[in-house]
Amino acid sequence: MRKGTPSRLRPSASGAGAPGKHGDRAGGSSTMGEFELIRRFFDRGPARHAELGLGDDCALLSRRGPDTTLAITTDMLVGGRHFLEGTDPEALGHKALAVNLSDLASMGASPLAFTLALALPGADEAWLGAFSRGMFALADRFDCELIGGDTTRGPLNLCITAIGELPAGSALRRDRAEPGDDLWVSGELGGAALALASLREPHPPATGSPALGRLERPEPRVALGVALRHLARAAIDVSDGLIGDLGHICDRSRVGAEVDWPAVPLAAGLASVAAARRPALALAGGDDYELLFTAAPENRGSIEALGRAPAAPLRLTRIGRIVASSGVRILDARGVAMPIDASGYDHFG
Ligand code: ADP
Ligand code: MG
């Protein structure tokens, strides 16, 4: 905590974006200070992997070996921008960590640890309990431990920094795609964008309901990222929409790409929307957190085998290719470029 930061978080009527009723129920929590809050909701005792976890000025993390590289990533979720106030806190805990683990996955790193910087409008115990439950449930699945953070009062803001590791030289970087590479994507696209669109309808699904699962509970493709270390060349996770994210690979690798629209795997829900709406949902909708990667054609068989792994079957689809000329082109069934209004997909447009 910085000097001058109020060290007490009062329970606010609106809670941390949760329905207000829980704030008052906290009762004694009007005296719950920052340190008690950390102890109750985030401190799970001695670190398992880190030399030193939370409780000191820094966490201490030993290097696992001389030939490993650390991968470090930060993603912030801001209330009102990345999620609606009132979003199920358990889902938020999941997503705040999931988007970071997805970044680790897209580099081929396996998760080690993370820190959590939290700004909260108040100390709402029910909200904090659900948030930490959602976050730790995901963390435990990947044996990734919380080693520190910061807690302050302010508009709801969740910022996680995740640390992963991988063998030196094996990272799946955006700048490694080569002309002639196949272009692959995991899972299905458009499901999160469809869920987001449903929130604007007259009778939106309730937060936390399965209908919003693809939006609220993305699954980081950690095992796939690790398995791709020696099979893929470049990779990125699809957080801002396929066209935009593929554009990042192309820019960094100084190449272009062609996507065969009929080959793009669509989320099941897209079957029930007008065909004309599907490209925007699947190609420009964000938040799917699937992995988009390029690989040499000689690795096709190995990559197809990966997708059939009995432990965790995951659809892997070849959707196009990397080309020498710059730009991303979407081709229809006849191989003709489809008019895609790129400006329509700019978050700042
Ligand atoms: P400092 O004053 O050194 O910044 P703080 O008083 O902010 O330390 O935090 C005390 C300890 O609690 C530190 O080890 C910090 O990493 C940890 N911590 C604070 N907030 C969180 C949080 N939201 N999640 C996990 N650990 C936290
Ligand atoms: Mg601090």
pTM: 0.90
Ligand at shortest distance from the CA of 119 = 1
- Which residues lie near ion ligand 2 (Cβ < 5 Å)? 1, 150
Question: Could you list the pLDDT tens digit for every one of the 349 residues in the chain?
Answer: 444 444 445 444 344 443 333 333 333 344 588 899 999 999 999 999 999 999 999 999 988 888 999 999 999 999 999 998 899 999 999 999 999 999 999 999 999 999 999 999 999 999 999 999 999 999 999 999 999 999 999 999 999 999 999 999 999 999 999 999 999 999 999 999 999 999 999 999 999 999 999 999 999 999 999 999 999 999 999 999 999 999 999 999 999 999 999 999 999 999 999 999 999 999 999 899 999 999 999 999 999 999 887 766 799 999 999 999 999 999 999 999 998 754 334 434 4
| Residue 57 counted as domain residue | yes
CB neighbours (10 Å) of residue 257? 27
Ligand nearest to the CA of 117: 1
Angle between helices 89-107 and 125-141 (to 10 degrees): 30
Q: Is 120 in the pocket of ligand 1 (CB under 6 A)?
A: no
Asked if 28 and 139 sit in the same domain, the reply is yes
Distance 238 CA to ligand 2 centre (A): 32
14, exposed or middle or buried, with CB in 10 Å at 0-12, 13-18, 19+? middle
Number of domains comprising the chain: 2
Closest C-alpha to ligand 1, atom 6? 1
The Cα angle at residue 127 between residues 123 and 132, in degrees rounded to 5? 100
User: Looking at residue 113, what is its pLDDT?
Assistant: 97
Listed residues 111, 138, 167: the one ending a domain: 167
**Same domain, yes or no, for 56 and 199?**
no
Find out whether the beta carbon of 150 lies less than 6 Å from any atom of ligand 1. yes
State the number of CA atoms in the 13 A half-sphere of 310 facing the CB: 0
Asked whether residue 143 falls in the same domain as residue 229, the answer is no
Mark whether 82 and 104 lie in a shared domain: yes
The atom number, within ligand 1, closest to the CA of 57 reads 3
Atom of ligand 1 nearest to the CA of 146: 25
Q: What's the pLDDT at 9? A: 56
Return the pLDDT at 341: 59
Ligand nearest the Cα atom of residue 158: 1
Ligand 1 pocket residue status of 56, Cβ below 6 Å? yes
Query: Is the domain of 25 the same as that of 123?
Result: yes
- Tell me, yes or no, whether 92 and 107 share the same domain: yes
Domain edge (last residue) among 120, 141, 167 = 167
Q: Is 148 in the pocket of ligand 1 (CB under 6 A)?
A: yes
CA–CA distances in Å: residue 222 to residues 112, 138, 155, 269: 12, 12, 31, 25
Instruction: State CA 226 to chain mean position distance.
Output: 16
Residue 1 lies in a domain: no
- Report the relative pairing of strands 157-167 and 68-78 from DSSP bridges: antiparallel
Do 34 and 114 belong to one domain? yes
In this structure, are 163 and 239 located in the same domain? no
37, 44, 54, best to mutate for ligand 1 pocket (most atoms within 8 Å of CB)? 54
| CA 76/CA 120 separation, integer angstroms | 14
- Give one word for 231, left, alpha or beta, with left for phi > 0 and alpha for psi -120 to 50: alpha
pLDDT at 31: 59
Query: In the structure encoding, which two tokens stand for residue 275, read together?
Result: 């065909």
Q: Please tell me if the CB atom of residue 118 comes closer than 6 angstroms to any atom of ligand 1.
A: yes
135 lines ligand 1 (CB under 6 A): no
Q: Helix (H, G, I), strand (E, B), or coil: what is residue 56?
A: strand
> Ligand 1: which residue has its CA nearest to atom 2?
1
Question: Do residue 201 and residue 115 come from a single domain?
Answer: no
Q: What is the CATH number of the domain that holds 43?
A: 3.30.1330.10
Cβ atoms of 163 and 68 closer than 8 Å: no
Domain membership flag for residue 104: yes
* 290 found inside a domain: yes
Picking from 136, 167, 198, the residue at the C-terminal end of a domain is: 167
Task: Report the pLDDT value the prediction gives residue 3, as an integer from 0 to 100.
Answer: 44
Kindly state whether residues 208 and 158 are assigned to the same domain.
no
Q: How far is the CA of 141 from the centre of ligand 1 (A)?
A: 24
Q: What is the pLDDT of residue 63?
A: 80
113: in domain: yes
Residue 95 within any structural domain of the chain? yes
Do 32 and 97 fall into the same domain? yes
Do residues 221 and 102 make contact, with C-beta atoms less than 8 angstroms apart?
yes
11 domain-assigned: no
Q: What gap in Å lies between CA 338 and CA 315, rounded to an integer?
A: 25
Do 255 and 282 lie in one domain? The reply is yes
> Which of 151, 160, 161 has most ligand 1 atoms within 8 Å of its beta carbon, as the pocket-test mutant?
151
Q: Decide whether any atom of ligand 1 lies within 6 Å of the 42 Cβ.
A: yes
pLDDT at residue 291 in the model = 98
Whose tokens are 């070996």? That residue is 65
The boundaries of the domain holding residue 83 are 21-167
CATH code: domain of residue 286: 3.90.650.10
Q: How close is the Cα of 73 to the center of ligand 1, in Å?
A: 19
Among candidate residues 265, 253, 247, the one with its CA nearest the CA of residue 340: 247
**Is residue 92 a part of any domain in this protein?**
yes
Question: Concatenated DSSP letters for 289-331?
Answer: --EEEEE-GGGHHHHHHHHT-SSS---EEEEEEEESSSEEEEE
Could you give the CA distance from residue 100 to residue 103 in angstroms, rounded to a whole number? 5
